[in-house]
Amino acid sequence: MLRWLWRAVLALLVLGLLAAGVASWRFARYAPADPAIAPDTKAQAYFIDDYASARQAFLDRGAALAQRLERVERFAIPVASRQGVPGLFVDGLYLPAQREPRRLLILSSAVHGVEGPTGSAVTRLFMDEFISDALLADTGVLLLHALNPWGFAQQRRFTESNVDLNRNASTTDALYQTQNAGYPMVDPLINPQGPADLGAWAHRLFLLRSIAQIAQHGMPVLRQAVLQGQYAYPKGIYYGGRTLEPQLAALAPRLGAILAQYPLSMSIDLHTGYGARGQLHVFLNPPENPRLREGLEAVFAGQTIDWGSGKDFYTVTGDVTAWIGALRQTGAHLPAVFEYGTLDSQTTLGAVKSLHITVLENQGVQHGYASAEDEARIQRDYREMFNPSSPAWRTKVIHDSRAMLGHVLERLPKVSVQP
Ligand SMILES: [Zn+2]
């Protein structure tokens, strides 16, 4: 009898280990399939990985528009680098409504630097295909290229000070006192110490350790703890800083002056990394004011919206789109984010993989790498997560953006929001 019991326990143990081994093996090789779409070379040509070249392509188009249109404003906010990275700017192009200023549309990119190639590509698509005399008759357009140029140039999500700009944007300093109660609980998992080593057991077992945490606390609690933003761990991921980052501080008065000229504004902040691979997710944090929510619903009528209040969702503190709205003294602002999914992060495996890639990259930046091979692998995975090289993915981004921007421009003029 005892022998039977012993054998059963042993069999279960072996089965458990096998299952864990298979899961970890799958995790290590995780790569969701590309969207089924024939690659289009013209669409792919919008993607420029190198910051300086992407910036120049934006500036060249801006110069051409300034020749053709009245009262165009171009500005460049320099971003100083402690390491001495030269040529970093937040570039702005403001095309005022040419007859009657009824509404303002803002597109912003590279708030997360490494996501910049996609944001820059979509911005230039917009410049090539959607700026027309008819649009500009009563709609002003403000394009903000590379809010985190250091991160774009260095292929990091965060700024040189390890600040996540999308957790840092606030009109008051109260944000930086925010306590993220769940963060200390996840800190050992997401901010490991010592050089980043892909062979370390902590990383080999990252999936299982994450699943143990999910089992203990539940996915919504963990997601919120990790992604909300934090203000107490300067070397940790999703750090929102202690004060407003210099380029946002420099941008604020300029933005405020332009916003004041329009009774209604809408901003679309361009991001990658969240959601189903190759899919454009319209990602909205529901505004407290129900009329603003109705306004957003009217603009995106017929489209799937990922509301920040949904079950798979989380709320963030210090996001850029809400900050732009807070710079208004009067009038109404509709904040929106476009997220182009890369790793199917809506699935548990995809979410844990995305987190692991983020954790390894930050560990490497903060504490170095165990080997040159590990460094190359970690940085490649990180770049592929936020700036996929896949021709099908890039084609889909441009095609979907063209359709969605067309939809927004058709609906926005019909929307009136009483603040
Ligand atoms: Zn992002």
What CATH number corresponds to the domain at position 145?
3.40.630.10
- Which range marks the domain in which residue 117 is found? 72-180+228-342+388-413
Spacing, Cα 42 to ligand 1 middle (Å): 25
Spacing, Cα 386 to ligand 1 middle (Å): 8
- pLDDT attached to residue 9: 84
Stated as kind and residue range, the H or E segment containing 184 is helix 183-190
β-bridge partners, 196: 369
> What mean pLDDT comes out for the span 39-62?
98
| Number of domains comprising the chain | 1
Spacing, Cα 11 to ligand 1 middle (Å): 45
Q: Using CA atoms, how far apart are residues 159 and 161, in angstroms rounded to an integer?
A: 5
Name the residue with higher pLDDT: 42 or 23: 42
pLDDT tier at 313 (50, 70, 90 boundaries)? Answer: low
Residue showing tokens 């985190």:
148
Whether 195 has a pLDDT exceeding 80, the answer reads yes
Torsion sign over Cα 292, 294, 298, 304: positive
Spacing, Cα 115 to ligand 1 middle (Å): 6
- pLDDT attached to residue 390: 97
Question: Looking at the domain assignment, is residue 139 inside a domain?
Answer: yes
- pLDDT attached to residue 311: 62
- Pairing of the two strands 139-145 and 89-95: antiparallel
- pLDDT attached to residue 315: 79
- pLDDT attached to residue 268: 98
Instruction: Reduce the DSSP state of residue 97 to 3 states and report it.
Output: coil
**Contact (Cβ atoms closer than 8 angstroms) between residue 80 and residue 121:** no
Spacing, Cα 17 to ligand 1 middle (Å): 36
Q: Give the percent of the chain with pLDDT over 70.
A: 98
- pLDDT attached to residue 1: 64
pLDDT in tens, 204-258: 999 999 999 999 999 888 888 999 999 999 999 999 999 999 999 999 999 999 9
Instruction: Reduce the DSSP state of residue 205 to 3 states and report it.
Output: coil
Question: Looking at the domain assignment, is residue 210 inside a domain?
Answer: no
Spacing, Cα 164 to ligand 1 middle (Å): 9
Where are any strands of DSSP class E within 28-125? 73-78, 89-95, 103-108
Name the residue with higher pLDDT: 298 or 317: 298
pLDDT in tens, 298-312: 999 999 998 876 666
Question: Looking at the domain assignment, is residue 392 inside a domain?
Answer: yes
Question: Looking at the domain assignment, is residue 291 inside a domain?
Answer: yes
Question: Looking at the domain assignment, is residue 234 inside a domain?
Answer: yes
Spacing, Cα 271 to ligand 1 middle (Å): 4
180-to-175, 188, 221, 238, 318 alpha-carbon distances in Å? 11, 15, 11, 11, 13
Question: Looking at the domain assignment, is residue 277 inside a domain?
Answer: yes
Spacing, Cα 270 to ligand 1 middle (Å): 7
Question: Looking at the domain assignment, is residue 171 inside a domain?
Answer: yes
Spacing, Cα 319 to ligand 1 middle (Å): 10
pLDDT in tens, 337-377: 999 999 999 899 999 999 999 999 999 999 999 999 999 99
Average pLDDT, the chain: 94
> What mean pLDDT comes out for the span 152-173?
97
- pLDDT attached to residue 21: 84
Question: Looking at the domain assignment, is residue 159 inside a domain?
Answer: yes
pLDDT tier at 419 (50, 70, 90 boundaries)? Answer: low
- pLDDT attached to residue 416: 85
pLDDT tier at 111 (50, 70, 90 boundaries)? Answer: very high
Spacing, Cα 156 to ligand 1 middle (Å): 11
- pLDDT attached to residue 333: 96
* pTM summary value: 0.95
Whether 417 has a pLDDT exceeding 90, the answer reads no
Spacing, Cα 22 to ligand 1 middle (Å): 31
The alpha-carbon radius of gyration of the chain (Å, integer) is: 22
pLDDT in tens, 5-32: 888 888 888 888 888 888 888 888 899 9
Spacing, Cα 259 to ligand 1 middle (Å): 24
Whether 3 has a pLDDT exceeding 90, the answer reads no
How many residues make up the chain in this entry? 419
- pLDDT attached to residue 310: 64
